[in-house]
Amino acid sequence: MSRQPTELPPAKVALSDDEWRQKLTPEEFAVLRQAGTERPGVGEYVDTHTEGVYNCRACDAELFRSTEKFDSHCGWPSFFDPSQSDAVILRPDDSHGMRRVEVLCASCHSHLGHVFTGEGYPTPTDQRYCINSISLTLVPKKV
């Protein structure tokens, strides 16, 4: 796993809340900028098996690839590793009475979801990056 900083490094893409509100829909803003969560099973990429790259919906940075996506049946898209080790930032999240690890876009610090370890999924990393569909944009592989 990546480092878990107490303070985030400077964002490469830094906009004010008003600028993010202009760029994102209210639903996207609630998840990406306010650390919300979409309801399980409703996201457009939950059951997607299209080959391609998943980018941050806020800043378009590459985050995950379809080759690391797997069916966890948890209600959100799941990946066992980011596309590059520095694509995401992990930080402790003790909100809602739980101890979790939040996943943020390294480029713009948007909330993507959480990562869980040791759940027994048959993946190379034993990790499940549980990511909100609304945080992602799939760029299909060109044939």
3-state secondary structure of 30: helix
Q: What pLDDT sits at residue 7? A: 76
User: Could you state, in chain order, the average pLDDT of each consecutive group of 10 residues for the chain (143 residues)?
Assistant: 60 94 97 96 95 97 97 96 94 88 97 96 95 98 86
In the CATH hierarchy, which fold is given to the domain comprising 17-140?
2.170.150
Active site residue 130: yes
Q: Exactly one of 56, 105, 108, 130 is catalytic; which is it?
A: 130
Contacts of 36 (CB under 8 A, 6+ apart): 30, 111
Tell me how far apart the alpha carbons of residues 63 and 86 are, in angstroms, rounded to a whole number.
9
Q: Torsions phi, psi of 96, nearest 5?
A: 60, 25
State both tokens at 21.
Answer: 């509100």
Beta-strand relationship, 100-105 and 88-93: antiparallel
Q: What is the pLDDT of residue 94?
A: 86
Reading the block at residue 20, the tokens are: 């993010």
> Residue ranges per domain, the chain?
17-140
pLDDT for the residue numbered 83 = 93
Q: What pLDDT was estimated at residue 6?
A: 54
Contact between residue 91 and residue 104 where contact means Cβ atoms under 8 Å apart: yes
| Residue 34 tokens, joined | 């306010």
pLDDT for res 40:
95
